[in-house]
């Protein structure tokens, strides 16, 4: 049996070299067609494999998974079966899609039933998110923001290198890629005004992030160590934590962001498993001063995920504005989860934990318009000749991410949304 991550694997389904979903990926999502209810699928090339029908037709009999798991609106019940089951299913699907395996390759009747082109289906929210936490773990982003709003010589607050800073966000407004939303409204206080005013945000921003999905619940009072964290993580997804900077500036003292963040967060529809990402582990930052014992970890825990952001004005082509990488994270996801639970906070399957804005060391790798335009002082030129200091009405923001190694590209698809005028 050839392992699912083997770079030599080829599928009998044609997969373009620049496609995010080769046989080495096999990410999970939820989809429906005009004639079917929501169900669990796996992306391969430009198609989606219907696991409910695949199971019903007997191709997954060895796994003994009840078909109700696959005819579900969310992945949560499947995730609850545990990591050995995730791995066994991904391996079985890899075997079925292997170019050397005739089981499904030569069964044209079965193929017509279990495979749909992604362009012909509707992709849905893949998980039921109970709780969502947003971290602040990119040292370049934190330094940039601290430099802008405080003393550049003391850009990082005293606690920043001692713990992964985070806050609890709003789960109800997490939306699937392709869902448009209206510009949020709230209170702002112009610099030359004595009193706040109410109205639409003038400084709407994106935040380039990656989020991980909790795959194993914990009990109240239980902590998850950095060594055990990977067993509690199902996979990763792209995440755009939209932000209203002017609302945030007025409201965030003393308890942090509220209306500036809770109006919308966009995720990509596919969850890429941690197993699929394992070949792309890379060395992270050297953490100084030395962290407390519960935050220590061994090995390479960062991930080399190339990240891109584009802005597409209405009726125009998109313009790339950011090229960053998840490897620029100072705090790893294992440290984030360990810190989140060290006080006994319990986590549940489907909970989302986002990285915080991911900025690199160069100006073109900054992960927000706040940094890219440096608070609006350096507007970005679009291909249509217009300029952007922040995100305009009717702009579509598109995030993409992928790993590349040994001629294998493992990607996430897109996280995109269009900003509609305020109601």
* Residues marked as catalytic: 141
Those residues whose C-beta lies under 8 Å from the C-beta of residue 86, and which sit 6 or more positions away, are 78, 79, 215, 234, 273, 275
* Upper half-sphere CA count for residue 393 (Cβ side, 13 Å): 10
Closest C-alpha to 309, from 321, 298, 318: 321
SS3 of residue 366 by DSSP: coil
Task: Please report, to the nearest 10 degrees, the dihedral formed by the alpha carbons of residues 7, 39, 128, 238 taken in order.
Answer: 30
Closest C-alpha to 27, from 288, 236, 255: 236
C-alpha 310: how far from its chain's center?
16
Total length of the chain: 423
Closest C-alpha to 259, from 273, 272, 246: 246
Q: What does each C-alpha distance from 49 to 12, 44, 56, 69, 73 come to in angstroms?
A: 13, 7, 13, 15, 16
Q: What is the rounded CA–CA span in Å between residue 140 and residue 152? A: 13
Q: How many CB atoms lie within 10 A of CB 404?
A: 13
Closest C-alpha to 239, from 370, 414, 22, 53: 414
SS3 of residue 344 by DSSP: coil
């Amino acid at each position: 049996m050839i392992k699912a991550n083997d770079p030599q694997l080829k599928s009998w389904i044609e997969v373009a070299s620049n496609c995010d979903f080769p046989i080495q990926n096999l990410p999970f999502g939820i989809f429906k067609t005009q004639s079917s209810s929501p169900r669990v699928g796996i992306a391969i090339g430009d198609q989606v494999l219907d696991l409910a029908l695949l199971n019903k037709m007997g191709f997954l009999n060895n796994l003994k998974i009840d078909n109700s798991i696959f005819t579900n609106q969310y992945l949560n019940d499947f995730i609850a079966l545990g990591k050995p089951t995730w791995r066994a299913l991904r391996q079985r699907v890899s075997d079925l899609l292997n170019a050397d395996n005739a089981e499904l390759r030569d069964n044209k009747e079965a193929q017509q039933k279990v495979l749909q082109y992604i362009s012909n289906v509707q992709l849905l929210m893949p998980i039921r998110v109970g709780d969502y936490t947003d971290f602040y773990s990119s040292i370049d982003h934190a330094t940039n923001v601290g430099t802008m709003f405080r003393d550049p010589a003391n850009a990082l607050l005293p606690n920043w290198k001692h713990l992964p800073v985070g806050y609890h966000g709003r789960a109800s407004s997490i939306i699937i890629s392709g869902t448009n939303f209206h510009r949020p409204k709230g209170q702002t206080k112009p610099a030359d005004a004595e009193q706040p005013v109410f109205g639409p945000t003038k400084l709407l921003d994106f935040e380039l992030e990656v989020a991980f999905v909790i795959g194993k619940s914990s009990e109240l009072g239980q902590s998850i160590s950095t060594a055990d964290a990977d067993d509690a993580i199902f996979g990763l997804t792209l995440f755009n934590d939209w932000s209203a900077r002017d609302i945030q500036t007025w409201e965030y003292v003393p308890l942090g962001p509220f209306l500036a963040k809770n109006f919308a967060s966009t995720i990509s529809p596919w969850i890429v498993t941690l197993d699929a990402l394992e070949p792309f582990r890379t060395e992270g930052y050297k953490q100084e001063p030395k962290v407390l014992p519960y935050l220590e970890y061994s090995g390479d825990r960062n991930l080399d995920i190339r990240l891109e952001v584009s802005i597409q004005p209405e009726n125009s082509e998109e313009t790339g504005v950011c090229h960053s990488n998840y490897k620029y994270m100072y705090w790893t996801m294992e440290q984030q989860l360990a810190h989140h639970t060290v006080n006994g906070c319990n986590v549940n399957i489907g909970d989302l934990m986002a990285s915080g804005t991911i900025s690199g060391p160069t100006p073109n790798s900054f992960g927000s318009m706040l940094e890219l335009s440096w608070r609006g002082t350096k507007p970005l030129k679009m291909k249509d000749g217009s300029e952007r200091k922040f995100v305009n009405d009717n702009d579509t923001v598109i995030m993409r991410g992928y790993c590349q190694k040994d001629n294998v590209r493992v990607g996430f698809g897109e996280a995109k949304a269009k900003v509609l005028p305020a109601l």
